[in-house]
Structure formats: C-alpha cells, structure tokens
Structure 1
Amino acid sequence: MRPSSVLTLPGWQNSTEGHWQTEWEQAYGYRRVEQHDWLHPKRGDWCARLQDVVADQEGPLLLAAHSLGCILVAWWAAHSPDAHKVRGALLVAPGDVEQPGVSELIPGWTPIARQRLPFPSIVVSSSDDPYCSPARARELAQGWGARWVDAGAHGHLNAASGLGVWPHGHDLLRSLMPPAGSAAPDHSSRT
C-alpha cells in the first residue's frame, strides 16, 4: 500500500511530537486526518471530516487511530457509505467516553458504537491506561469484532508512554495490509 493510503486519526487534543502517530507520519509518510477543533471535539464534525477525507481517497485504506480516534472510527463505520474502502483499522488505547467524568469532559460522544466493524481490526490496550481499563478495552474489541492485544503497562499509549516509532504497533498495522496485488476483500456480508 502507498503511504498516503494509511490515515492516522489522533484523539482529543491531537497527537504531539513523540507520539507514535507523529513518528509514523514522519518515518513512513502516513497522512493525518486533521480536525478543525482538537480541544472541543464534536462527534458530527469529526465524522464529517473523516468522511470527506475517505471519500476523496482512491484505493484501499488503512486507519491507525488513537484514543477518541478509535471511538470516531466505530461511529463513522456504522454510518458511512464509504467504509468499504477501508481494508483494516488499528485501534490503539480506545478512550472510554462512557466512563464517569469523561462524558462531561468530552460531551456528545456517547453512546459508543458497538457494532461489528465492516473491516478487520485490532484493538491494542495497556494494562494501566487511565482512560480505559483492560476489561473495557476487551469488551469494545469484542463488540467491534476486533482482535485484542495487551500492550502491557504503558499508560495511554501516547507520547508520554515513550513508544517512539513503536515497532510492535507498526507490525500490527502491517498485519492488516493486504498482500501486494490482492483483490479487495468483500466485507459486505460480515456479521
């Protein structure tokens, strides 16, 4: 896949220097889906922006989401006519917006869409993430039909976690890439 076929989806407040998403963009040329307001995210606005970017893309896509970006992917996939363009999604440290206190901090993001995603996906979570417990991450992965991976104790898997270019995460993303020259899989009948 071309580097431009991998879209990164940061969470609330964007991904800063040292964040694995930023590192991947610099190292591999992946493209960030920029949002108009990183500090006061509105689900409808963020979904519309993701829809615009995906609709403008040709060929298959991979999504690499972090935190609120994971919640965005699930909601967008449930409503988009273009979800078929996505070959897979790496969903890292989903932010539990239904957790007490978070829904007040980031209003308008509940309920979390829990339908099976129409493309292969992997949820990666940390055993000590303050924004989503391992049990909750496994529950979300199950609802989304995703494989769940325990990353160990690394906090919110963000810049503060010190992952840098995060080779293990990149290997997981690459595992979602179709072999060169393969036909697009038909996920329309997935239940």
Structure 2
Amino acid sequence: MTPDTAPTILIVPGLRDHVAEHWQTLLQTRLRKAASVPPLEYDKLSCAARVAALDEAIAKIDGPIVLVAHSAGVMIAVHWAQIHSRPIHGALLAAPADLEAPMPAGYPTLDVLEDHGWLPIPRKPLPFPSIVGASRDDPLAAFDRVAAMAVDWGSRFVDLGKVGHLNPAAGYGEWPQADSLIRELL
C-alpha cells in the first residue's frame, strides 16, 4: 500500500469533542492522512446531528477510510453504519460508552440520551472489519457489556486492561497501542 492509496484515518470523538491532550487529537497531529469529525455548534446531544456530521466528514474523503472512534464516538459510528452504505475499510472502536446504563454524575441521564436518539444501542453486525477495545475499569461501561457489543457487531475484541475511560482523566495522552490496532485494520 502506497501513501497515496493508504486509508485516511477519520477520528470520531465522543460527546466532549476535541480535547487537546486526548490520544485521538495527538494521533491526528502525527498522522499524514488523517481528518476529524468537526465539533458541533448546535444540537450537541443529538445523535442524528452527530451521525450527520460523521457522514459529512466521510463525504469529504476520497478513497478508503479507517474510523478511529472513542466513547460516544463509537456509538456515533455504529449508528452511522446502520443507515449509510459508504464502504469503510475498518474501524477501531475504543472504550465505547454504554449509553444504556446509568452514567456517572455530570453525564447525560438515560432519559436525556433516549430523548436525543441514542437508545437503543444498535446491535446489528457492522458491515466493515472492526476492533473493539475495552477497559476493565471503565466508569462509563462494564467490561462484559462491551464484550457483548463486540460480539453483536462482529468485531474482534481486545482486552485493554485497566485503562479507565482511556482519556486524559485516566492518564492517556498518547496511547501507543492505537497505532498497532490501526495497523491491523490497514
């Protein structure tokens, strides 16, 4: 695969959008062919608006795409895959937030998530190769629930160990394992 035919890595952030110290932001800055779904200005909690933003970002890319999603970004990618047919080369789905379970204080409630179109979590197999990485101590998703999602989506499941929610609050900045998991999808 030459640099010109290599897939574009499309970053799909979660509900907190772009965080300078987040591994996704750091990954994007060091990759040659990378893009990111831009932050929403309005309807920030709307699943449909997030899916539309992902679809717009995908439409701007010529050639193959590998999605790199984190947290609610995983759910955005999964919802997108249920209604769109653009071929995707593969997806790294890291630390998906379990939006069907009550979240810690400071996060949207189940009622709010349902009102904004996030529920239920789609469970159909994804139409592209994917890897789901799960943390054993993620405050936003139980390990066994993420393992079940991976099975439903037809994804390869990777036990990431105790990495919290794989975000700056859990000590991640750089996440070197992302590089090797992405290479598997290329």
Classify the TM-score, shorter chain. Answer: 0.7 to 0.9
Number of the residue aligned with 2:93: 91
CA distance in 2, matches of 1:105, 1:55: 29
Residue 154 of structure 1: how far off its partner (Å) = 1.1
Number of the residue aligned with 1:172: 181
CA distance in 1, matches of 2:181, 2:12: 16
Pick closer, same or farther for the CA change 1:147–1:162 going to 2, 3 Å. same
- Contact 2:22–2:172 (CA under 8 A) maintained in structure 1: yes
1:18 match: secondary structure: coil
Q: What is the letter of the counterpart of residue 93 of structure 1?
A: A
Q: Which runs of 4+ in 1 moved over 4 A?
A: 1-4
Number of the residue aligned with 1:187: none
Residue 155 of structure 1: how far off its partner (Å) = 0.5
Pick closer, same or farther for the CA change 1:129–1:119 going to 2, 3 Å. same
Residue 39 of structure 1: how far off its partner (Å) = 8.1
1:74 aligns with 2:83: no
CA distance in 2, matches of 1:158, 1:119: 25
Q: What is the letter of the counterpart of residue 118 of structure 1?
A: P
Identical columns (%): 37
- Contact 2:91–2:128 (CA under 8 A) maintained in structure 1: yes
CA distance in 1, matches of 2:23, 2:42: 18
Residue 41 of structure 1: how far off its partner (Å) = 1.9
Long gaps (5+) in structure 1: 178-191
Q: What is the letter of the counterpart of residue 68 of structure 2?
A: A
Pick closer, same or farther for the CA change 1:175–1:27 going to 2, 3 Å. same
Q: What is the letter of the counterpart of residue 25 of structure 2?
A: T
1:16 aligns with 2:16: no
CA distance in 2, matches of 1:22, 1:39: 22
CA distance in 2, matches of 1:40, 1:103: 16
Long gaps (5+) in structure 2: 104-108
Number of the residue aligned with 1:142: 151
Q: What is the letter of the counterpart of residue 57 of structure 1?
A: I
1:80-129: CA deviation from partner (whole Å, max 9, x where unpaired): 031x1x10000001011110254235342001111100110000011000
CA distance in 2, matches of 1:164, 1:52: 27
Q: Paired residue for 1:56, among 60, 68, 85?
A: 60
1:40 aligns with 2:44: yes
1:40-65: CA deviation from partner (whole Å, max 9, x where unpaired): 32111111111112122211000000
- Contact 2:136–2:161 (CA under 8 A) maintained in structure 1: yes
Residue 20 of structure 1: how far off its partner (Å) = 0.6
Q: Paired residue for 1:157, among 131, 152, 166?
A: 166
Q: Paired residue for 1:115, among 107, 120, 124?
A: 124
Q: What is the letter of the counterpart of residue 9 of structure 1?
A: V
- Contact 2:7–2:63 (CA under 8 A) maintained in structure 1: no
